[in-house]
Structure 1
Amino acid sequence: MKLGVFSVLFQQLPLAQALDYIADKGLDAVELGTGGYPGNHHCNPAELLADAGKLREFKKMFDSRGLAISALSCHGNPLHPQSHIAQSFHDDFVRTLDLANMLEAPVVVGFSGCPGDSDDAKYPNWPVAPWPNEYGELLTWQWENKVIPYWIRTGEYAKRQGAKIALEMHGGFSVHSPATLLKLRSHVGEVIGANLDPSHMWWQGIDPVQAVRLLGKEQALHYFHAKDTCFDTNNVNQHGVTDMQAYTQLLDRAWNFRSVGFGHDLKTWSDIIAALRLVGYDYVISIEHEDGLMSVDEGFTKAVENLKQIMIKEPASEMWWA
């Protein structure tokens, strides 16, 4: 396994300075935001695709520091019911797939998106209960008419570009759990897999170790984000896990994102790393920093220090004792 970082947390820095900082921390890989919600501060696909010279210089910035580009990330909602919004997210994602081909980045990370409740809707609608029955009917309509057709088309394009799509299982989107990921994969094919972020599993009540095993058995684990979640029991009892308070309301929220090791102990994280090894995942552990209690530097540094203690980097030895 290799240790990397999703570089959007350093978007306030010029790319060269951010890469120097990342390399100095001893990391192996960088995941780059290319549009959608994360923006494209360090990597603008339209510019790089239009200028071969810029593209060569861009590659050199990573090669000269011994850093790999582990993934391109374009999180958006290409199924948004307002067509101009959906089109913008879709265009960003397609350009990202094109750039992934040019950079030989094997994975493109994103969201599945979430449609509205009809062709005339203005806003996404995320059904979370099977009853009253119209919610179940809505969910069926969304998948049959929007989710599956879109990703069949986009999956075919990704295959032609030689990239795997790692959908981040995230609340608010049609694919948000191992079951919904595998459902979409059964229709689209192996080009679709998961970006597994334990923080989003925990707040939904899903054990990340079991999520790794479920997805790994299906060879459906394409990428991994390292981010933690902590819970406040009193606030959970008041608001439930679908807490709609702003992330800035740290004291009152049921749960908050934390740096690795500050929501769950390193034994828990060791179990996750072991499960990844067990199912054959031998790619990048990409740190994502969204800890409201720590600065970027401190939160990132502590995540690096904690993960370095538990990462499994070398191939397993022969079982001389068996």
Structure 2
Amino acid sequence: MRLGMLTACLPQWTLDRIAAWAAGAGYQALEVAVWPGTGDRDFVASHLPVADFGSEQVEQALALFDKHSLELSSLAYYENNLHPDPLRRDEIHTHLRHAIDAAQLLGVPSVGTFIGRDWNKSVADNLADAEQVFARHVDYAGERGVKLVIENCVMEGWHPDGYPGNLAYSPELWEWMFGLGLYLNWDPSHLTWLGIDPVETIAPYADRIEHAQAKDVELDPVARNRYGFFGKAFKEGNPWDMGWWRYRVPGLGQVDWPRVVDRLYEHGFTGTLSVEHEDPVWGGDERRVTQGLEIAHRTLRPLIVD
């Protein structure tokens, strides 16, 4: 197992600068954000130009990772593959294919994305749609020796009423998507606020956990007594404000990291545990973001066996 970090938390930095900082801070791998520069997310992180990726870009990227003795663990393009706007959906699918092509050229084993959801349709209709969409994606990736990994994020902010906007949030849905040939980018933070014990989800699905993300979550049961499990009804322009929980860097929330890492080892996980920094306390500017990454490193690195 290696300790890595997702580059999306430093969207204004170049990949060269991130690689130098990460290696100096003791990280061993990077999960590289490859958004195209525009999209539906509240950040834009484009650290490799996968839409225009030729031999020169490949050589530069490989030389950069070799220089800093880092592994490139996965390419990250987490967008809504079931977007209700057909033009936007086509854009997302095209860019996902670009990311898969770049992963093949770089020898990267996986590309991360979301199932997503068309919020105008029922869950059953979305699942039927996804089976057709991802049959094409999985075939395209498989022909290039790349696995598609799906993060189990709820993406409640994508739904106008705050319901799940990414239909991959529970083990029930994992079992469905594994049948499509997809793998899991396992993240314990989402499971924790949903009331699912993340440690108990490792053993049954260990053979499909291709990549893992390290994000913590802080729960506020008193606030939950006011808002209920589904969170705030009146979000005042912030669709991601649930009111009773927030993401934290590892070590500052409720996730039991020694148990998580031990159970991953127990069941043979040899991939990258990648810090995904979305902590509002340790965010806002690059200095606090890097301090948050340092806190995460101090929490997790002692648990990783050299």
TM-score of Structure 1 vs Structure 2, range by shorter chain: 0.7 to 0.9
Report how many aligned residue pairs link the two structures.
Answer: 282
Query: What's the CA shift string for 1:49-89, capped at 9, x where partnerless?
Result: xx322321122111111111000011001211110111111
1:76 counterpart SS class:
strand
Paired position in structure 2 for 1:288: 276
| Letter paired with 2:299 | N
Question: Which whole-Å CA distance do the structure 1 matches of 2:13 and 2:98 have between them?
Answer: 24
Question: Which whole-Å CA distance do the structure 2 matches of 1:89 and 1:237 have between them?
Answer: 38
Query: What's the CA shift string for 1:71-122, capped at 9, x where partnerless?
Result: 001100121111011111111111100100000000111111112445xxxx
**CA positional deviation for 1:247:** 7.4
Paired position in structure 1 for 2:251: 261
Do 2:4 and 2:30's aligned partners in 1 also have CA atoms closer than 8 Å? yes
Residue ranges of structure 1 left out of the alignment (5+ in a row): 119-137, 314-322
Structural mapping, 1:93-104, within 5 Å: 93-104=96-107
**CA positional deviation for 1:238:** 1.4
Question: Which whole-Å CA distance do the structure 1 matches of 2:295 and 2:151 have between them?
Answer: 24
Residue ranges of structure 2 left out of the alignment (5+ in a row): 155-164, 283-287
Identity of aligned residues (%): 26
Paired position in structure 2 for 1:6: 6
Q: Could you say what the CA RMSD is over the residues aligned between the two structures, in angstroms?
A: 1.7
Paired position in structure 2 for 1:215: 205
Normalising by structure 2, report the TM-score. Answer: 0.87
For residue 198 of structure 1, the aligned residue among 185, 188, 197 is 188
Structure index of larger Rg: 1
Question: Which whole-Å CA distance do the structure 2 matches of 1:247 and 1:311 have between them?
Answer: 36
| Letter paired with 1:140 | A
Question: Which whole-Å CA distance do the structure 2 matches of 1:114 and 1:60 have between them?
Answer: 38
Greater relative contact order (CA < 8 Å, ≥ 6 in sequence): 2
Say whether residues 1:44 and 2:72 are aligned partners. Answer: no
**CA positional deviation for 1:153:** 1.4
Range 238-247 or range 51-60, more displaced: 238-247
Do 2:219 and 2:254's aligned partners in 1 also have CA atoms closer than 8 Å? no
Question: Which whole-Å CA distance do the structure 1 matches of 2:276 and 2:219 have between them?
Answer: 18
2:80 counterpart SS class:
coil
Do 2:12 and 2:45's aligned partners in 1 also have CA atoms closer than 8 Å? no
Say whether residues 1:154 and 2:134 are aligned partners. Answer: no
Paired position in structure 2 for 1:178: 171
Paired position in structure 2 for 1:300: 293
Normalising by structure 1, report the TM-score. Answer: 0.83
Segments of 4+ moved more than 6 angstroms: none
Question: Which whole-Å CA distance do the structure 2 matches of 1:99 and 1:297 have between them?
Answer: 27
Query: Structure 1 pair 151/236, CA: closer, same or farther in 2 (3 Å)?
Result: same
Paired position in structure 1 for 2:127: 143
Question: Which whole-Å CA distance do the structure 1 matches of 2:172 and 2:247 have between them?
Answer: 23
Paired position in structure 1 for 2:161: none
For residue 220 of structure 2, the aligned residue among 203, 213, 232 is 232
| Letter paired with 1:312 | V
Do 1:97 and 1:108's aligned partners in 2 also have CA atoms closer than 8 Å? yes
2:74 counterpart SS class:
strand
